[in-house]
Amino acid sequence: MAQEQKLDDRVALTAEKIRAGKTSLGIEFGSTRIKAVLIDDTYATIAAGDYGWASHLENGLWSYTQEEIWTGLRTAYARLAADVESAYGEKLTHVGRIGFSAMMHGYLAFDEHGELLVPFRTWQNTNTSEAHGKLSELFQYNIPERWSIAHLYQCVLNGEEHIGKVRFITTLAGYVHWKLTGNKVLGVGDASGMFPIDPATHAYETAFIERFNALPEVAAQPWNLADLLPEPLVAGTPAGELTEEGARLLDPTGTLQPGITFAPPEGDAGTGMVATNSVRVRTGNVSAGTSIFAMVVLEHKLARLHPEVDLVTTPAGDLAGMSHANNFTSDLNAWVGLFGQFADAIGQPVDAGTLYGTLFRAAIEDDVDSNCGGLINYPFRSGEFLAGLPEGRPLFVRGPEAAMSLGNFMRAQLFSAFSPVKIGMDVMTKDEGVAVDSLVGHGGIFTTPKVAQKILAAAFDTPIKVMSTAAEGGAWGMAVLADYLFHADQPLDEFLDSRVFADAESTTEAPDAADVAGFEEFFDRFRKGLPIEHAAIANIPLETK
Residue 5 clears pLDDT 70, i.e. is over it: no
Q: How far apart are CA 473 and CA 35, in angstroms?
A: 9
Q: How sure is the predictor about 9, in pLDDT bands with cuts at 50, 70 and 90? A: confident
CATH level 2 (architecture), domain 276-327+423-509: 2-Layer Sandwich (3.30)
- For residues 477-486, give the mean pLDDT: 97
Per-residue pLDDT tens for 197-252? 999 999 999 999 999 999 999 999 999 999 999 999 999 999 999 999 999 999 99
Provide the residue ranges of all domains of the chain, joining segments of one domain with +. Answer: 276-327+423-509, 329-417+513-539
Average pLDDT over residues 255-277: 95
Query: What is the C-alpha to C-alpha distance for residues 457 and 454, in angstroms, rounded to an integer?
Result: 5
* Euclidean distance between the first and the last CA atom of the chain, given in angstroms as a whole number: 63
Q: What does the pLDDT read at residue 471?
A: 59
Average pLDDT over residues 330-357: 97
Cα 440 from Cα 284, distance rounded (Å): 6
516 to 127, 432, 462: CA distances (angstroms): 35, 21, 10
Residue length of the chain: 545
**pLDDT band, residue 33 (cuts 50/70/90):** very high
Mean pLDDT on 318-328 = 92
Residue 309, helix vs strand vs coil: coil
Contact predicate 95/25, CB 8 Å:
yes
Distance CA(369)–CA(515), nearest Å, equals: 9
Measured distance CA(433)–CA(442) in Å, rounded: 24
> Which pLDDT value is given to residue 545?
55
Of residues 329 and 362, the one with the higher pLDDT is: 362
pLDDT tens digits, residue range 509-525?
A: 999 999 999 999 999 99
Select the highest-mean-pLDDT range: 8-12, 288-292, 500-504.
500-504
Q: Does 394 have pLDDT greater than 80? A: yes
Average pLDDT over residues 324-328: 91
Among candidates 99, 61, 297, which has minimal Cα distance to 192? 297
d(CA 521, CA 518): 5
What are φ and ψ of residue 412, in 5° steps?
-65, -40
Q: Are 29 and 76 in contact (CB under 8 A)?
A: no
Predicted confidence band of residue 470 (pLDDT cuts 50, 70, 90): low
